Amino acid sequence: MGGDGDKKRKKTHRQVHKRKGIAKQWRKGTGRWQYDGEGESDDDQLDRKLSNPRQYHLVSEDEERDALVLQTGGPLAILLDEGEELRARPRRSTTTENPDATLVAIGDRVRYLPMGEDEAVITHVYARDSFLLRTSIRDAEYAQVLVANIDQVIVTAAATDELLRPGLIDRYLVAAAMGGIHARICINKIDLPDRDGEEFIDELATMYEQVGYEVLRTSCVTGQGLDELRAAVEGKLSAFSGHSGVGKTSLLNQLIPELDEKISALSDQSQRGMHTTTRSTLFPLPSGGWIADTPGIREFGLFQFDASDLHTYFPEFLRFADDCRFPSCTHTHEPDCGVKAAVEREDIHPLRYRNYLQILESEDDDAS
């Protein structure tokens, strides 16, 4: 019986090298895989190396330069240095001043080494002045940076039942405040709702405007609100962020008429290793400034926020928090809570308070 078992094991201890197509067999005495039969000769190996010459030339650290990250996605980034665009990759030894977060994001300022025509390696990522980030879907201890060093985020929703999600809007607003970014709200596709839908949008816009947020209502079909949107982004570094399908790309096409040409040019630069569904891109605006297009998302987890500080990112809560009996009040179950009393009087909109509670509950779920 033992002999039959050994034969079976010997048959299974074989694999085929993907590149060479040569079978390999496990050599028990050496404790490693060895080629079974004739492998690649020295002449074959030399021919292979000569047919794939080094892509880069040797450079000195004295040649390091600064650049702006225009595009990210996959293993590549597109950098801008004094009007010239070049394709770059981080190297294994790339240093960063932003630990526990995405290494390179659009809007980042980086150091790089030129490695040939339109090629570079990123050597260092500078500290971010501001950032919009969420919890990574792969690791809750890691921050996914959507965009860095921007002045404002345009939180974009659409005037449809499934794409007008106040809960997601509030998560973006909190994330913007945490990252030191000014936020505006844009309700797009405003030409779609019926009378009842218009009334709901009016109520929603009023709710946000009363607590200090500007709400833009836009339509790429009728042109409504597009002039106001252009004025809001002129001369600033901005980013569109929101749920998938809300029309961010259509708005970008209105702001940048030659957008298709710019996308095509960047795609040519980054055709190796980029994936369009995960690509983030920074575009120059004709009137001055920049605007970032970030991939649409369906879920937005706030990264490592302190539950006791969450109310500070809801501006209307601050006015009533001093009336709470307990300084560490979470405004959920405590007695004599000034915020809960304000909700009952409707000095705080019940929908905003409900969204606040949902964010707290999601934080508890992540911690458990």
For the segment 250-279, what is each residue's pLDDT rounded down to a tens digit? 899 999 988 864 444 444 444 433 333 357
Q: What is the pLDDT of residue 259?
A: 80
* Distant-in-sequence, close-in-space partners of 322: CB < 8 Å, separation ≥ 6: 338
Separation CA 311–CA 351 (nearest Å): 14
Helix residue ranges per DSSP H, the chain = 2-12, 42-51, 166-178, 195-210, 226-233, 248-255, 259-269, 315-321, 338-344, 350-367
Q: What residues have CB less than 8 Å from 311, skipping those under 6 apart?
A: 317, 318, 321, 330, 331, 339, 356
Residue 155 confidence (pLDDT): 95
Task: Output the pLDDT for position 62.
Answer: 72
Mean pLDDT score across all residues of the chain = 82
DSSP states of 213-271 = --EEE--TTT-TTHHHHHHHHTTSEEEEEEBTTS-HHHHHHHH-TTHHHHHHHHHHHTT
- 63 pLDDT band (50/70/90 cuts)? confident
Least confident of 44-48, 56-60, 180-184, 213-217: 56-60
pLDDT band for position 75 (cuts 50, 70, 90): confident
Evaluate if residue 5 carries a pLDDT over 90.
Answer: no
For the cut 90, the answer to whether the pLDDT of residue 352 exceeds it is yes
pLDDT the model gives residue 300: 79
Where residue 56 falls among pLDDT bands split at 50, 70, 90? very low
User: Tell me: the pLDDT tens digits for 18-38?
Assistant: 444 445 555 555 445 444 555
90: Cα within 13 Å, side-chain hemisphere: 18
What confidence score (pLDDT) does residue 100 get?
A: 87
User: Average pLDDT in the 326-331 region?
Assistant: 92
Residue 243's closest CA among 322, 163, 160? 163
Residue 3 has pLDDT above 80, yes or no: no
Over residues 199-219, the pLDDT tens digits come to 999 999 999 999 999 999 999
pTM (2 d.p.):
0.76
The pLDDT value given to residue 97? 96
Q: Domains in the chain, please, with CATH?
A: 15-40 (no CATH), 61-125 (2.40.50.140), 146-293 (3.40.50.300), 307-367 (1.10.40.50)
Residue type for position 350: P
pLDDT > 90: percent of the chain: 57
Higher-pLDDT residue of 63, 272: 63
363 vs 184, higher pLDDT: 184
Q: Tens of pLDDT along 88-144?
A: 999 989 999 999 899 999 999 999 999 877 889 999 999 999 999 988 877 778 888
